[in-house]
Amino acid sequence: MTTYQAQSPALFLSYQPDEHAPDGTNAFDSIKSFLEPGSTATAEATGSSILSKLPAGPAPADGSDALWSLYNVLIGIAKQIPHDHPALVKLVRVVDRLGRSPKTTVTQQGSDNEETLRPLHTFGWSLRDIFAPPEFRPNTPSDAEKDAYLSTQAFMALLWSGGLVEGWNFALWQLRSALEEEVEQPEEEKLLVAAAALCVIHAGPQIWQLVVDPPEYTGPDNQSHRPGSRFDGPGGYNFKRWEFWLGAFEGQAEGEDLSCRLSKRAVAVMKGLGGDV
């Protein structure tokens, strides 16, 4: 029987140190070795090796240069892994190990004097910085740029599905920009739809839970979760919006290009979770 590992194409990962940040070569080398086919390393051991090089915890509330460098190494590797490659899941397992350390965890005290642990507290900030899609004006982005964008979107959805980062805002922004807004260029629309489909494929249950039991949004959060111009309904997560997204993916699923194929998979996930609503 052919295994996924045998089917998966080889990875050619590279790392360019940032002269303005701590060198992340050790972290990169550890992860690269773990992701190689046939590696006997484990996510647990790989994460522990990386953690051994970090300053003692707890993590500073506003992050640190060491954590910023580490998170950029993780994102840089994710960009180089195809969105459907099993190594992306293995990378998320390393992040899970990192998140179980006081070195990456912030302790916050609420108004009721109860302490809250926030693992990977500043990782979301780094992810937000790379969330936006590549610009299609004045020039169309390269295939490599588009591939890297899809890889990071799959990575973020996998992190959210694993409870490692908060992704409800990223998901809603992605679905709105792809399915609810007018997009002038067909190629740009297809890229956005593909990214939104990956979000549903990897984090569909999280999205569905918020539709069934939506949180209340106020202030800036309420504004950021407004609907797009194509959707005549309330913002935030709700059944009407879910039904609209399902119909939009069904409309995008006719064809054989990547966007169509991923839309078909998104439709299957949504119907598996909520039926035809």
Per-residue DSSP letters for 258-269?
Answer: HHHHHHHHHHHH
Question: Which region among 4-13, 29-38, 245-254 has the lowest average model confidence (pLDDT)?
Answer: 4-13
Q: Are strands 115-119 and 105-109 parallel, antiparallel or unpaired?
A: antiparallel
To which residue do tokens 């045998």 refer? 6
Q: Average model confidence (pLDDT) for the chain?
A: 91
Helix (H, G, I), strand (E, B) or coil at 273: helix
Indicate if the pLDDT at residue 176 is higher than 90. Answer: yes
Mean pLDDT within 125-146: 93
- Prediction pTM value: 0.92
Confidence of residue 144 (pLDDT cuts 50, 70, 90): very high
d(CA 267, CA 260): 10
Confidence of residue 266 (pLDDT cuts 50, 70, 90): very high
Q: What does the pLDDT read at residue 219?
A: 66
Rg of the chain taking only CA atoms, in angstroms: 19
Residues 6+ apart with CB under 8 A from 27: 50, 53, 69, 70, 73, 74
Confidence of residue 53 (pLDDT cuts 50, 70, 90): very high
Q: Which two tokens stand for residue 66?
A: 């060491």
- Cis omega before residue 58 (within 30°)? yes
The pLDDT tens digits for 95-129 are 999 999 999 998 877 666 677 778 898 999 999 99
Q: What does the pLDDT read at residue 1?
A: 40
